[in-house]
Every structure is written in C-alpha cells, then in structure tokens.
Structure 1
Amino acid sequence: MTATESSGSVDAESAPAVPVVDGIRAAIADGEFVPDQRLVEADLSERFGASRASVRTALVQLTSEGLVERVQNRGARVRAISLAEAIEMTEVRMALEGLCAAKAAERLTDDNRDQLRGIGSAMQAAVAAGDLLGYSEQNKELHALIRALGGQTTARAILERLRGQNVRHQFQLAMQPGRAAASLPQHLEIIEALCAGDPDAAEAAMRSHLRSVIDTLPDVAASRPRRFNAL
C-alpha cells in the first residue's frame, strides 16, 4: 500500500467512527440494544451506513467506556453489570453528584432557579398522573441540569460515563412500583436547597437521595434478571 493509500484508508475509517459511536451508545442508553445482546459488525455497518472498520473502531472505544465487552471467538456484546457493580457506581455518583450540587448552588441565576422549579413541577405532575416514563425523563433532565450548572467538568465527564453504563438500570429503577412517589420529595428537597443557594444542604440532599437509590437496588435486582444493562 502506498503512503497516499494508507493516508486515505485512515481518513475513511476514522471519519464515520464518531457518528457510529454515538449511534451505538444511544441505542444502548435507550434500551434498544439490551444486556448481553450480540453486536454484529455487519448489521451495525448496514444500520449506520459505515464501513466495517469504522464499526470495529467504534466498538473498541465503547469497550473502553464499559458499554461493550468483547468475548473471545464470540465477538462483541452489550456489557451487563452485576448488583455489586451497580452499587459501586452509585456510591461514586454520591460523591461526585454531591459535589456538582454544592457547586451549582453557588452559581445559580434566576433563570436557573426557574428551570429547576419547572422540572420539579413537571415531576409532581407526572407522579400525580402515574406517568412513570414522563417522571423518568424529568429525573434524567434534572440530574443532567445539575451536572451542567455545577461547572465541574471533570466530575461531569466521569458522571456521564457512569450514566452511560447504568442508564438501563436507572430506567428499571424508575419503573419500580412506588419508586417515583418515594423519590419525588427527595428531588424536591434537592431543588429547594439549590434554589436557596445553600451548597451544604444541596450536597447533603443529593447524597441522601442517592443513598436511597443504593438501598433500593437489591429490590430492583430481585425483580429483574440477574444482571443489569451496562448503561
């Protein structure tokens, strides 16, 4: 292969890799690709209109992110996580999301407060209507907004990766009977502490909320298959 051909090959393989990575990641996050599902390169290549080499590159990246695992002689599949792993990830979230909440409390504008209270009202309406999917979406939006408002880029990057690994498990938790009603006052407490500009209270409220998530995980595990989707 000539130098020109080699350079062209690298460009062709690397250019589509980003959208392929994003597409597979989104399909895992949305639960379209489920735990232990095989990820066949030919199928992914056809779906995303990318070369097999680009798909392979994307799977390598997603393996490094913990979303995919490669099994010898069996190819790639969506990684599943154990209950113990889910608990460990949530313990890390307690520390980092608590930090983000504390920092966010010191940075809020009036528009930010309106955003937070708007999400709180939407969460209350969803619980009142029994709309678990709507509540789950508002829950996700609230946590994402707090991470963004905290301005702690390192913590945010780590949390985004953990969310990617745990998104399916978080969805299962949200669908657990009675969970939305139990977590609603916890989220409202976080919102009020943030809006009051109290970093200590915001961090404590976030940590308390995530501690309740940890306490609920065994019940979720008992009602679902033995392993969670690696979100």
Structure 2
Amino acid sequence: MRESKTTTILNQLKKDINEGVYSPNEKLIENDLANRFETSRNTIRNVLSLLEKDNLVSIVPHKGAKVTALNTKDIINLLEVRAELEGYVFQKVTPLLSDDEIKKMSEIYKQMVENIEENNLQNHSGLNQSFHEVVYSKCDNTVAIGIIRDLKNQLSKYNFKTILIPGRKEATLIEHKNLLEAVKSRDGALASQRAKEHIFSVRDTLLDYNDYLNH
C-alpha cells in the first residue's frame, strides 16, 4: 500500500533530524518545507505536529517550530532511565538468547568494526540499533521496550554527532565487545552491568560535549 504524502514527508524529516541535516534549535520554516516537498503549508503543519508528539520538534505559538534541543538535565534524566531499563532487559533476555541470535549479534558487531575501521560512520547508528534490537525483540516486556525506544528516539538526533567526538568510536567498539562477551557467556548479571556501563559512557560523552551537540 502506497504511503500518504504526510507519511512520506514525516519519515523524511525524521531521518533528516536524526542524521543532523537539521540541527537542534534550528527553525523549521513552513514555507521552505512546503516548497521543498511541493505540498501545502497545511500538510507541513500536520507533519510538524506529529514530529512534536515524537519530541523531535517544539512548536511555539506565533513563533513556529524548531528542532528540539536537550539541556544537560534532560540528557542525564533520559540516559539514566535508559541505563536502568537496558540493564533490566539484558539481564532478563541474555539467558534466553539462541545460538543463532548471538551469532547475529556477533555478525553485526563485526560490521560495526569494519565500518569504523573504514571510517564509514554513516552506517554506525543503524548497526548499533540492530545490535540492541536482537535483544529487544526477545523481551516479552513490551512496556519496557516501548519506553527504551521512546528514550532513544528523543536522543537520536545526537547519534551521528556523538560518534564524531574524538575517542567515541573506539570507545563504542570496546563497550559493545564487552557486552557481546557477556551475552555469549549467557551471564545475565554481567550483561546487565555492561549494558549500563555502555549507556553511562554515552551519557558522559554527551554531557562533556553538550554545547557542541546543540549547534
């Protein structure tokens, strides 16, 4: 079934925001977007309202829309909640993973290494997502997974900039390697610890470079 014009524009703008085409705090001008997508301003308003529901855009009456930016407190809150939930999910799911699922995680990790070695950072965020999704898809607590995905969605626009920070691409490989080793050993407690360490490392990076990430 062919998707609607609104859905097409919505998905493209989500992609653009998440990949940094539009920066945090950047204004989204209705006329410019209407011209870009060859559609009406009313359609653009509907799309912007949907983006606001996803916390990707902030709309101020009489002033228009801009890409949502997170302050330091927001980042701490989002990532500390995510760390606890990731720890819970990895502890719950790790002992249940099949050999094929662990093999899939290993293959994704190998691709992450290859991409970073080749400095092909554009694909890193997607591979990172796929690595964690293997575990999420095995978890029967859909409430926890829904919250994690919402938290990740709010931070997604920072992902590409984060991997560009000096030392971050090397750190993320070490963190995922440690997490994968815990998963391979089927040690839920260790996987939980490693998952939390990974998210807290992301938190610390975002805090250290918060000014850079919001420009």
TM-score (norm 1): 0.79
107 and 51 in structure 1: CA distance in 2 versus 1, 3 angstrom threshold: farther
Report the counterpart of residue 182 of structure 2 in structure 1: 193
Q: Give the C-alpha shift of residue 155 in structure 1.
A: 2.2
115 and 181 in structure 1: CA distance in 2 versus 1, 3 angstrom threshold: same
CA contact (8 A) 2:20 2:161 kept: no
Amino acid in the other structure paired with 2:207: P
* Corresponding residue SS for 2:209: helix
Q: Give the C-alpha shift of residue 127 in structure 1.
A: 4.5
Question: How many residues were matched structurally?
Answer: 212
* Corresponding residue SS for 1:66: coil
CA contact (8 A) 1:20 1:50 kept: no
CA contact (8 A) 2:18 2:158 kept: no
Q: Among 80, 98, 105, which residue is 1:116 paired with? A: 105
Report the counterpart of residue 74 of structure 1 in structure 2: 63
* CA offset digits 1:167-226 (Å, max 9, x no partner): 23232221111122223222112112222222222111101111222233332225x16x
Q: What aligned pairs does 1:63-212 form with structure 2 within 5 A after superposition?
A: 63-212=52-201
Q: What residue ranges of structure 1 are gaps of 5+ in the alignment?
A: 1-14
CA contact (8 A) 1:105 1:202 kept: yes
Aligned residues: percent identity?
A: 29
Q: What aligned pairs does 1:41-56 form with structure 2 within 5 A after superposition?
A: 41-56=30-45
Amino acid in the other structure paired with 1:178: G
* CA offset digits 1:51-88 (Å, max 9, x no partner): 43332222122212211111232211111111221121
Amino acid in the other structure paired with 2:128: N
Report the counterpart of residue 10 of structure 1 in structure 2: none
Amino acid in the other structure paired with 2:92: K
Root-mean-square deviation (Å)? 2.4
Report the counterpart of residue 21 of structure 1 in structure 2: 10
* CA offset digits 1:138-159 (Å, max 9, x no partner): 3333233332333432222222
- Is 1:62 the counterpart of 2:51? The answer is yes
Give the distance between the partners of 1:52 and 1:151, measured in 2 at CA.
42
* Corresponding residue SS for 1:35: coil
Amino acid in the other structure paired with 2:181: E
Higher Rg: 1
Q: What residue ranges of structure 2 are gaps of 5+ in the alignment?
A: none
Q: Among 215, 220, 225, which residue is 2:209 paired with? A: 220
CA contact (8 A) 2:179 2:195 kept: yes
CA contact (8 A) 2:79 2:199 kept: yes
